[in-house]
Structure 1
Amino acid sequence: MTAVDFEAFVGELARAAGEAVRPFFRTALSMRDKSAGVAFDPVTEADRAAETAMRQMIMETFPAHGIVGEEFPDHQPDAEYRWVLDPIDGTKSFICGFPTWGTLICLEHNGRPAYGMMHQPFTRERFMGDGARASWSGLNPHGTEISHHLRTRPCATMAEATTMTTSPRLMQPAERDRYARVEDAARLSRYGGDCYSYCMLAAGHVDLVIESGLKPYDIAALIPIVTGAGGLVTTWDGGDASQGGQVIAAGDARVHELALALLNG
């Protein structure tokens, strides 16, 4: 069974997660800090409600599949097919009322991301990819659903590049120094965005996204979207990014090579 066979089901997962999350957005929602005093890391009722809804649907429909999510323990993580879920990527944006967050849903086959979706239930956008193609769907000003293919844009030099990171303060000091070399060489740098930044890269509006300290559920769903749009996603040393850590996404292989050289001195 291929990833395309699961597309309709992924859409249903996104719908259920959106229905669980949307009533909490821009409200006085319940929140606790799960950081154990290290750094502010909020988790909300919305996170848990959305992941619970998705887990229940997966276990009822595909009982042999595994699940790895942010809010609950792993379920059958060594299964041939495994779902990697982040109910709200960008929780800090969520609690501040900014719409630069989304639900990340990835289907892995034998440990490799095969299909990914980023669903933004407030703006009613979906970004989808399977590594070979990527697309966007949403509503036009008249409320009619529309869709189109995604494609990254060409970028040959750092002087042309727009780069994004959620925040350099999330990096270790040495990583911050390495990232600063890229930022200093870029035409434009912007902060914030979380998963939305990768989708804007896939859509051809951003050239580089550079992060560190990511978990698998932060990046797995975004890899098939970016690569399906013609980009690439690696670690800072050019390796496999599906397990998170230090991650760089680029829309053009040329600017990816230049950014890696700056990151690695």
Structure 2
Amino acid sequence: MTDALHPAAVNLSDIDRTARLLADAAREVILPYFRHSGLASENKLAEGFDPVTEADRAAERAMRAILSEQRPQDAILGEEYGSTPGTSGLTWVLDPIDGTRGFISGTPTWGVLIAVSTEAGPIYGMIDQPYIGERFIGAEDRAVVSGPRGEVLLKTRSTRHLSEAIIFTTFPEVGTSEEGGAFRAVCEHVKLTRYGMDCYAYALLAAGQIDLVIEAGLQPYDIHAPIALVEAAGGIVTDWQGGPAHAGGRAIAAANRDIHQKALDVLRASLG
């Protein structure tokens, strides 16, 4: 592995400074569209519903413009405009509005996702909720949220038993019928199941409010920022087999290794 790819050689201070510029720019672009009665959306899918709005596209363009000035050597992977190559070994992974369904519905559960990753996975992650004014940031072993209460350090919960756990996912069906069945098998063991929070569920996990987020059908730009944030707060994020999750697909985020293993055992047993 070259120095450029090794986290020890990365200037996290400059990454954080740049990420905050990106988030500020995205906030400025997005907020005029939120809860605007004239907002139009397009469906990306021939079957099903995956909306995109001008707010998504404009926010990603604004962030890409800053990166082209501030860090032109880095690669970019964005939901709306795809991949741009780089030479540094670092990739900025951008989802300008994670939770566009919530965005067009007026719920403040969507967020701007900004991550920086090496080939091994994310090393910095931000979940920014412009309307509430909360910004969750995680890197290395430090995670913080800034918002109405100032800046607060984040730490995941120590829940050890599924019977005490709170679990989230975005869609009730989760993914395929098989994946949905596996998720519901975990739900049979927990105290409370909630739906529809998009990236904000991962922020709540990092903040110590909930214990598990289980999802399927994810893209890399959906999960890179949550991985960095949750793990910096003391949690763990893997795929449903316990391996790396940054390629997307199935992901389980947990507050600690004990609750992660218990939920993983149920998923595996259900999938066979």
Could you tell me the TM-score, scaled by structure 2's length? 0.93
Q: Partner residue of 1:97?
A: 106
Matched-pair contact (CA < 8 Å) for 1:131–1:226: no
Q: Which residue matches 1:143?
A: none
2:35 aligned partner: 26
Any stretches of 5+ residues in structure 1 without a counterpart?
Answer: 141-145
Aligned-residue CA RMSD (Å): 1.2
2:11 aligned partner, one-letter code = T
Separation (CA, whole Å) in 1 of partners of 2:49 and 2:74: 33
Look up the SS of the partner of 1:221 in the other structure. helix
The aligned counterpart of 1:196 is 200
Deviations 1:230-261 (A, max 9, x none): 00000000000111110000002111101001
- Whether the aligned pair in 2 keeps the contact of 1:80 and 1:111 (CA below 8 Å) is no
Stretch moving more, 93-102 or 53-62: 53-62
- Give the stretch that moved more between structures: 252-261 or 78-87: 78-87
CA contact (8 A) 1:160 1:186 kept: yes
Displacement of 1:78: 7.1
Q: Partners in 2 of 1:64 and 1:136 — Cα distance?
A: 29
Task: Determine if the alignment matches structure 1 residue 254 to structure 2 residue 258.
Answer: yes
Other structure's SS at 1:100 match: coil
Q: Which stretch shows the higher mean deviation, 85-94 or 110-119?
A: 110-119
Matches within 5 A, 1:66-145: 66-76=75-85, 79-140=88-149
Q: CA separation in 2, counterparts of 1:32 and 1:5? A: 36
* Greater alpha carbon shift after TM alignment, 203-212 vs 56-65: 56-65
Structure 1 SS opposite 2:127: strand
Stretches of structure 2 that go unaligned for 5 or more consecutive residues are 1-9
Q: Residue 235 in 1 paired to residue 239 in 2? A: yes
1:43-99, Cα deviation, whole Å (9 max, x unpaired): 001000000000111012111110000001210067511100000000000000000
Match of 2:153 in 1: 149
* 2:228 corresponds to: 224
Aligned equivalents of 2:50, 2:175: Cα separation in 1: 15
What SS class does the counterpart of residue 160 from structure 2 fall into? coil
> Which AA in structure 2 matches 1:34?
K
SS in 1 for 2:18: helix
What TM-score, normalized by structure 1, do the two folds share?
A: 0.95
Counterpart CA distance in 1 for 2:86 and 2:170 is: 28
Partner of residue 185, structure 1: 189
Quick one: which of 32, 38, 62 aligns to 1:53? 62
Q: How many residues align?
A: 259
Is residue 183 of structure 2 the alignment partner of residue 173 of structure 1? Answer: no
1:124 & 1:103 partners in 2: Cα distance? 12
Q: Is the 8 A contact 1:68 1:77 kept in 2?
A: no
String of CA shifts for 1:20-39, please: whole Å, max 9, x gaps: 1000000121211011x221
Q: Moved runs in structure 1, 4+ residues, more than 4 A?
A: none
**Deviation of the 1:205 alpha carbon:** 0.5
